[in-house]
Chain A
């Protein structure tokens, strides 16, 4: 260790035999002249301008981000084709069950595309609606404002379990 230190000292002494030149007077003249020229050229930077400039830059960045988000959203919505009524009526429960998400339209579209085949029979549903309409018309024609309760204390408006089962 001591030998190493002695060698280091020796090495330092050798290195100190040489030295780095100092800047010449010509260089001083040249550089100070150039720096003074730059000093006079550059207008004084007001200290309160710095935070103002930062604020403006932040606002500009925020505007750009919001604009990009809007643009992307509109672009996504333009690509989205709404499903027709029959398709939508086939899957009412699944559609409503989707939670609210930031990319709602896109996710719903994906969900619709990836859905399994329809489980409900639309013709049965149409028949039921038609029956209800006929019943209401009849009631209207008879001049009865209050809906009557049929035998068995069950309303026609509320389909029973068997009729529900017939849809599937």
Chain B
């Protein structure tokens, strides 16, 4: 009887601790959701008000990520700048649809992806040799060694298929998780992971000299 009572007490304690932990977890996750969605809501409200200040908000929220993504896809800083401008104009043109979109960032990335694809199809001539020489990937220290390294990495990334390159760029240079990348590109998580794996395998072959 006594043992049963003590077990009950333990169970109640566990339950209380568990509920506290659960409530803490819920609060944390709710705060995360609020923090993540706050800029989205602000942006959505500005778009619905038809406020031109939304352009600034869009820039603050997406410009760096989109620019990195476009550089990774196009392998050219100049082209990425041109396409980024087109993307922003396109976003402004579709602002009412954007305001209604479930995931703003996925919608914005879709626009960027479409614009990059149409730009690539316009840029028909082969420019791989030229692209390697462009400064779309830089190193912090301006030394000969590091510059050579940047050159090697650029040459290796240019050799990758676009689909693998965009995943690697988002994962390595923008620190996105597979889940985030899959949401942004509208792909399954497994597809993103396999593209990353295949891309890394190719890079391992291409940059084999650098790996000890």
User: How distant is B58 from chain A, measured CB to nearest CB, in Å?
Assistant: 8
Chain A nearest CB, measured from B64 CB (Å)? 5
Q: Classify the interface of chain B: helix, strand, loop or mixed.
A: helix
Mask for A18-62, Cβ within 8 A of B = 1, else 0? 111111000110111011101110101101000000000000000
Measured CB to CB, the closest approach of chain A to B69, in angstroms, equals 9
**Which residue of A21, A31, A44 contacts B59 across the interface (Cβ within 8 Å)?**
A31
Please state if B63 and A14 are interface contacts (CB–CB under 8 Å).
no
> How many chain B residues touch A (Cβ–Cβ < 8 Å)?
45
Q: A35-B55, A35-B89, A36-B55 are in contact. Are A19 and B77 (CB under 8 A)?
A: no
Contact A10 B96 (CB under 8 A): no
User: Is B193 interfacial (CB-CB < 8 Å)?
Assistant: no
Known contacts A11-B211, A14-B210, A35-B55; is-contact A23 B89 (Cβ 8 Å): no
Taken together as a complex, chains A and B put the C-alpha atoms of A141 and B187 apart, in Å, by: 96
Do B137 and A19 touch (CB < 8 A)?
Answer: yes
Whether A31 and B92, one on each chain, are in contact in the complex, defined by CB atoms closer than 8 angstroms, is no
Distance in angstroms between the alpha carbons of A168 and B168 in the assembled complex: 87
User: Is B138 a contact of A18 with CB atoms below 8 Å?
Assistant: yes
User: Chain A, interface size: which category?
Assistant: 20 to 34
CB-CB under 8 A for A47 and B140, given A20-B169, A23-B67, A31-B85: no
A7, A27, A35: the one contacting B92 at CB < 8 Å is A35
A16 interface residue per 8 A CB criterion = yes
B89 touches A38 (CB 8 A): yes
Chain B CB count within 10 A is highest, among A11, A16, A35, for: A35
B91 lies within 8 A of A35 (CB): yes
A16 surroundings in chain B (CB, below 8 A):
172-173
B88 at the interface (CB under 8 A from A): yes
CA of A91 to CA of B28, assembled, Å:
88
**Other A-B pairs beyond A19-B138, A39-B55, 6, CB < 8 Å:** A14-B207, A19-B137, A19-B140, A20-B71, A23-B63, A34-B88
Query: Which residues of B line the A interface, CB within 8 A?
Result: 50, 52, 55-56, 58-59, 63-64, 67-68, 71-72, 77, 81, 84-85, 88-89, 91-93, 95-96, 135-140, 146, 149-150, 153-154, 168-169, 172-173, 200, 203-204, 207, 210-212
